[in-house]
């Protein structure tokens, strides 16, 4: 017999999951469009009132265009329905405000729609190379044969040595073609696009664990130690035995490694510098540049859920007094025994007067603290530490700890704008001397750019490598502000207006 019956059961179960239910039905396109318009990689949660108003606005716009919308529905009712269908998650943010966010099922459905809407096919040389490299690496780690592992490592070493010697001897650096790079971009964007749903599944797993523990605490059916043991076991299982848990653990390790994060940013910048990146749309470029931000935000959300769960456990353990519970249990058992004895002799209408509240005890005030002569003694005299006073800082050291050098930065900006040597403020910043590359100088450059409305043209970001006064390097992600001749003239005029000497000279001139 064929396995059609089992396949029907498995497919039916799959279609009952929220992911496919979101993509099924008459209003599937409407739901997906609303989720894609209201949420994004940078806007992962939306306040409840704002989302209700947004959905109402979408409904009005669609009706004006003559398109069908769900009947007799408003934004609040639709959001409540989507919460019940497990497509939206409603919770309080850090400030206590009610917000909506997409569930992992909704994120998977949106990723599927985004994948189907791309023009390029993801089954490419880049995807196959990724699969082969992954299989080769895991086969090397899974092989129990030591000699086989040594042979594979030697083969890789020989390949790397041959390539290194070829490049060292002046061999040509073979750059990837545009088609190959576009395949790689598509593969990388697809992998990055799967991260939010993976992190969301971990967050929902922790949230389910949180709800179950709260239910166990309220029902008081199990001892606290059993609940704690189950929590610790589930936490280890969630991280070690699930794909999304292992992804979260790997992301957490990545965020603790500054060198690896710097390498990730550098590699992404190299990809963006390739000529083939010009063929990418703005959304794909934002996806690549936001890889680190996606990892950080997903890890932050999961850790926030874990902190809430840990706080719940701590609060219950602190407030749960076992001795008081045992004492109350003994009192209730004693009351039951006395009631049983009383029922043996009491009539059907007999009553017992019981006070609702016990009488208030009158306790006199006792002196808690006696006078101590030592508390009235004056403090000991201050020691003379004039010989141990450190050398005062120099004027140059104080200046290096102060705010940005606006005059020097304005002069550098005007010179760079007139010469055309720098395309963005980041290029100019890296060409400045070390004393003008402090982190605070970045704020000075942005302040000057804002005075001539240069920030209105920002469409991208770039990495600034700043140098602290102690020589330490720090990297900052800053808007990529372009430099134009009009802005040079505006900055020059501002320099004249801000110069007091120019004002005095103008006052002394006779027209």
Q: What is the pLDDT of residues 326-335, one digit of tens each?
A: 677 778 888 8
Q: Bin 281: left if φ > 0, else alpha if -120 < ψ < 50, else beta.
A: beta
Confidence at residue 320, expressed as pLDDT on a 0 to 100 scale: 63
Local confidence band at 154 (pLDDT 50, 70, 90 cut-offs)? confident
pTM above 0.95, yes or no: no
Confidence at residue 336, expressed as pLDDT on a 0 to 100 scale: 82
Where in 404-479 does DSSP place strands (E)?
461-467, 473-479
pLDDT surpasses 60 at 502: no
Confidence at residue 503, expressed as pLDDT on a 0 to 100 scale: 39
Structure tokens belonging to residue 378: 């004056």
Confidence at residue 251, expressed as pLDDT on a 0 to 100 scale: 60
Single out the residue of 425, 186, 426 nearest to residue 283, CA to CA: 186
pLDDT surpasses 70 at 317: no
pLDDT surpasses 70 at 238: no
CB 439 within 8 A of CB 466: yes
Local confidence band at 496 (pLDDT 50, 70, 90 cut-offs)? low
Confidence at residue 508, expressed as pLDDT on a 0 to 100 scale: 35
Confidence at residue 11, expressed as pLDDT on a 0 to 100 scale: 77
- Domains for the chain: give ranges and CATH numbers: 4-104 (1.10.10), 177-319 (no CATH), 403-507 (no CATH)
Local confidence band at 379 (pLDDT 50, 70, 90 cut-offs)? confident
Confidence at residue 500, expressed as pLDDT on a 0 to 100 scale: 45
pLDDT surpasses 80 at 242: no
Give CA torsion, residues 33, 38, 43, 44, to 10 deg: -70
Residue with tokens 């808690």: 368
What's the chain's average pLDDT? 76
Helices (H), 118-145: 125-142
Give residue-wise pLDDT tens across range 43-93: 778 888 889 999 889 888 888 888 888 876 788 888 888 888 888 888 877
On the CB side of 498, CA atoms within 13 Å amount to: 12
Give residue-wise pLDDT tens across range 412-457: 887 777 776 777 888 888 888 888 888 998 888 888 888 877 777 7
């Amino acid at each position: 017999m064929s396995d059609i019956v089992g396949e029907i059961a498995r497919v039916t179960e799959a279609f009952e999951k929220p992911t496919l239910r979101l993509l099924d039905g008459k209003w599937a396109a409407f739901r997906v469009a609303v989720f894609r318009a209201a949420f994004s990689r940078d806007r992962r949660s939306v306040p409840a009132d704002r989302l209700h108003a947004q959905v109402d606005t979408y409904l009005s716009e669609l009706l004006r265009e003559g398109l069908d919308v769900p009947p007799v529905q408003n934004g609040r009712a639709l959001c409540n329905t989507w919460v019940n269908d497990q497509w939206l998650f409603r919770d309080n943010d850090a400030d206590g405000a009610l917000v909506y966010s997409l569930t992992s099922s909704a994120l998977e459905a949106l990723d599927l729609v985004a994948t189907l809407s791309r023009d390029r096919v993801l089954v490419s040389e880049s995807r196959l190379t990724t699969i082969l490299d992954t299989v080769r690496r895991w086969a090397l780690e899974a092989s129990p044969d030591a000699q086989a592992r040594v042979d594979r490592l030697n083969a890789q070493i020989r390949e790397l040595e041959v390539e290194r010697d070829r490049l060292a001897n002046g061999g040509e650096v073979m750059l990837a073609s545009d088609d190959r790079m576009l395949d790689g971009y598509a593969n990388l964007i697809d992998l990055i696009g799967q991260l939010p749903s993976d992190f969301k599944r971990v967050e929902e797993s922790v949230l389910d664990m949180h709800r179950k523990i709260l239910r166990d605490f309220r029902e008081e059916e199990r001892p606290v130690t059993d609940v704690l043991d189950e929590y610790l076991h589930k936490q280890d299982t969630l991280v070690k035995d699930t794909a999304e848990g292992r992804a979260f653990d790997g992301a957490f390790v990545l965020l603790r490694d500054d060198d690896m994060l710097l390498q990730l940013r550098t590699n992404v910048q190299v990809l963006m510098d390739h000529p083939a990146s010009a063929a990418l749309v703005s959304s794909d470029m934002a996806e690549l540049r936001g890889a680190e931000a996606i990892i950080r935000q997903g890890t932050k959300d999961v850790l926030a859920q874990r902190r809430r769960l840990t706080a719940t456990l701590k609060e219950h353990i602190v407030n749960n007094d076992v001795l008081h519970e045992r004492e109350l249990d003994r009192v209730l058992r004693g009351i039951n025994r006395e009631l049983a004895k009383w029922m043996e002799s009491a009539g059907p209408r007999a009553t017992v007067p019981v006070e609702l509240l016990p009488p208030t005890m009158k306790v006199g005030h006792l002196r808690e603290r006696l006078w101590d002569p030592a508390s009235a003694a004056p403090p000991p005299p201050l020691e003379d530490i004039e010989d141990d006073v450190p050398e005062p800082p120099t004027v140059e050291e104080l200046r290096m700890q102060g705010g940005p050098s606006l005059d020097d930065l304005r002069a550098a900006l005007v010179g760079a704008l007139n010469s055309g040597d720098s395309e963005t403020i980041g290029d100019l910043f890296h060409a400045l001397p070390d004393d003008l590359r402090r982190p605070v100088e970045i704020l000075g450059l942005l302040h000057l750019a804002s005075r001539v409305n240069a920030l209105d043209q920002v469409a991208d970001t770039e990495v600034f490598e700043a140098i602290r006064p102690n020589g330490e390097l720090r990297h900052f992600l800053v808007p990529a502000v372009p430099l134009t001749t009009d802005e040079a003239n505006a900055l020059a005029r501002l320099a004249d207006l801000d110069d007091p000497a120019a004002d005095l000279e103008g006052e002394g001139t006779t027209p």
